[in-house]
Amino acid sequence: MPPKVQTVLLVNLFHEIALKRNNRRRFLQTALQNIRRSLSDMSARCFYVPPMSVRIHAPAEQLPTLQQRLLQVIGIEYISPAIWTKSWEGLQAATDLLLEQLPPFSSFAVRCKRTEKRFPMSSADIERRLGAYIRERTGASVNLRAPERTFWIRLLPDGFYLAAERLTAPGGLPVGISGRVLALLSGGIDSPVAAWRMMLRGCHVDFLHFHSFPLVSTRSQEKAQALVQLLTRYQYHSRLFFVPLAEFQQHVVVRAPAAYRVVLYRRFMYRLAEWVAQQYGAKALVSGDSLGQVSSQTLDNLATTSAVTTLPILRPLIGMSKQEIIAQARLLGTYDISVQPDEDCCSLFVARHSATRSDRQTVEALEAQLPMESLLHRALEQLKLAEYRFPSPAPTPSSQTAAPWGAGASPETTTPHDPEPRESVS
């Protein structure tokens, strides 16, 4: 009987996982679980191959979608469409099958990585033997410096994998491994990138959007929804909270000098964010601040705004320029959504020149003139939640009203409110 060869997808997990000696098992389990979740609507079968790979079988017609999905799974370093065979004898048949699928080429190289050390031949021997066979079959010459085509052989405990392609995935730590955070999401360019960068460090991200409806349209909320829907591809389930800021802003306009308005808005936002984070199990806040980008992001103003919460505020973009952030947003696909016109709550009633240096005493004195407690309560009473799932493309119909300030409700005890998220957030 001829040796069996099969077309599969070989997934290689991000090498950083290998460094986590004590937690390695947990990292691998989370990575595998995420791969399965990302393919949950497909008939793919996944098998863990020690130490850092996953073999995936799926019907041929599903392979393009499968590939596209896996390229979005955080924790994967690269994927290879490969021919798998259990034995050395099968490698020749695997090579024949792969060559049939490839256009002609004039030069090539073979690279072998032998993870399974019990096999008697060295990597160099395998490369030479297979190289000789390919040369004989195709007439192409070996060129190790600049080959037109590279063949990769991986020798893993379950057999040989032969591939002519490696597709780079996002890398990073598997989503969920680092715990839950709450990202403050405007409709702008920076905050979705900040959220995504925390996903790359293994965080599961909840989102919180502040809006000024009914003083402005629902546009910013719609953008936040579109952004979360896109980012859900990377974490499979997302919660997006909406909290109104309009009433607080109206008080600020009457009582506070224009130059301090943005700092006051931000402090109010962080107080609300802390409450949401604590109620919904997030251990840190995430913001898209970049040092010096605008007046609210000077060191003094960041210190004044951060002072209202004891939660860590993660600012993954703090050292990046706007150009670098835009480049990431374009790659991520959020840029086109972010640049659509909207009316962000922070641009409402703000001075042309905001104070670049605020101090706590001044800002606390201004806040003392405002009914802070009741404004916080009322904003939280109007908190709305929409949930998103991937692979399911549309937002789930469940939208809920969370329990009011201080009620100590967990998400499980929230009551269904409005079946249409779009309605419920306006």
Nearer of residues 69 and 209 to ligand ATP, judged by Cβ: 209
Nearer of residues 109 and 208 to ligand ATP, judged by Cβ: 208
Helix (H, G, I), strand (E, B) or coil at 218: coil
Nearer of residues 166 and 180 to ligand ATP, judged by Cβ: 180
Minimum distance, C-beta of residue 185 to Mg ion, in the bound complex (Å): 11
Q: Are 130 and 110 in contact (CB under 8 A)?
A: yes
Q: How far apart are alpha carbons 278 and 410 in whole angstroms?
A: 10
Give ∠ CA 178-181-184 in degrees, rounded to 5.
150
Helix (H, G, I), strand (E, B) or coil at 31: helix
Task: Report how far Cα 363 is from the mean position of its chain's Cα atoms.
Answer: 35
Number of residues that bind ligand ATP (CB under 6 A): 19
Residue 191 binds: one of ligand ATP, Mg ion, none (C-beta under 5 to 8 A by kind):
ligand ATP
Q: Are 413 and 403 in contact (CB under 8 A)?
A: yes
Q: Which residues from 255-314 bind Mg ion, rule CB under 5 A?
A: none
- Peptide bond connecting 51 to the previous residue in cis, omega within 30 degrees of 0: yes
Any contact of residue 30 with ligand ATP (CB under 6 A)?
A: no
Minimum distance, C-beta of residue 243 to ligand ATP, in the bound complex (Å): 8
Q: How far apart are alpha carbons 204 and 198 in whole angstroms?
A: 8
Minimum distance, C-beta of residue 87 to ligand ATP, in the bound complex (Å): 54
Nearer of residues 190 and 342 to Mg ion, judged by Cβ: 190
The region of 69-77, 188-196, 247-255, 314-322 touching Mg ion under the rule CB under 5 A is 188-196
Minimum distance, C-beta of residue 193 to Mg ion, in the bound complex (Å): 10
Q: Using CB under 5 A, which of 77, 127, 190, 344 touches Mg ion?
A: 190
Q: Using CB under 6 A, which of 13, 263, 272, 345 touches ligand ATP?
A: 345
Q: Using CB under 6 A, which of 77, 342, 344, 387 touches ligand ATP?
A: 344
Query: Which residue reads 């990575």 in tokens?
Result: 31
Sign of CA dihedral 412, 416, 417, 418: positive
Q: Using CB under 6 A, which of 8, 10, 162, 184 touches ligand ATP?
A: 184
Minimum distance, C-beta of residue 194 to Mg ion, in the bound complex (Å): 9
Give me the amino acid identity at 331: L
Helix (H, G, I), strand (E, B) or coil at 20: coil
Minimum distance, C-beta of residue 162 to ligand ATP, in the bound complex (Å): 45
Nearer of residues 294 and 407 to ligand ATP, judged by Cβ: 294
The region of 34-42, 64-72, 182-190, 249-257 touching Mg ion under the rule CB under 5 A is 182-190
Any contact of residue 289 with ligand ATP (CB under 6 A)?
A: yes
Minimum distance, C-beta of residue 268 to Mg ion, in the bound complex (Å): 18
Q: Are 183 and 195 in contact (CB under 8 A)?
A: yes
The region of 184-192, 310-318, 333-341, 353-361 touching Mg ion under the rule CB under 5 A is 184-192
Q: How many CA atoms lie within 13 A of 246 on its CB side?
A: 14
* DSSP secondary structure string for all residues of 164-196: S--EE---SBPTTTTEEEEEE--SSSHHHHHHH
Residue 276 binds: one of Mg ion, ligand ATP, none (C-beta under 5 to 8 A by kind):
none
Q: How far apart are alpha carbons 150 and 142 in whole angstroms?
A: 10
Which residue's beta carbon is nearest to the bound ligand ATP? 188
Q: Using CB under 6 A, which of 294, 351, 365, 407 touches ligand ATP?
A: 294
Over the window 187 to 216, marking each residue x when it contacts ligand ATP by CB under 6 A and - when it does not, the resulting string is -xxxx----------------xxx------
Q: How far apart are alpha carbons 426 and 222 in whole angstroms?
A: 10
Nearer of residues 176 and 188 to Mg ion, judged by Cβ: 188
Q: Please enumerate in sequence order all residues whose Cβ is within 8 A of that of 425, keeping only pairs 6 or more positions apart, or say none.
A: 211, 218, 221, 225, 242, 384, 386, 399
Q: How far apart are alpha carbons 359 and 354 in whole angstroms?
A: 13
Nearer of residues 234 and 242 to ligand ATP, judged by Cβ: 242
Stated as kind and residue range, the H or E segment containing 133 is helix 123-138
Q: Are 138 and 104 in contact (CB under 8 A)?
A: yes
Residues that bind Mg ion (CB under 5 A): 190
Binding positions for ligand ATP, rule: CB under 6 A: 184-186, 188-191, 208-210, 287-289, 293-294, 296, 344-346
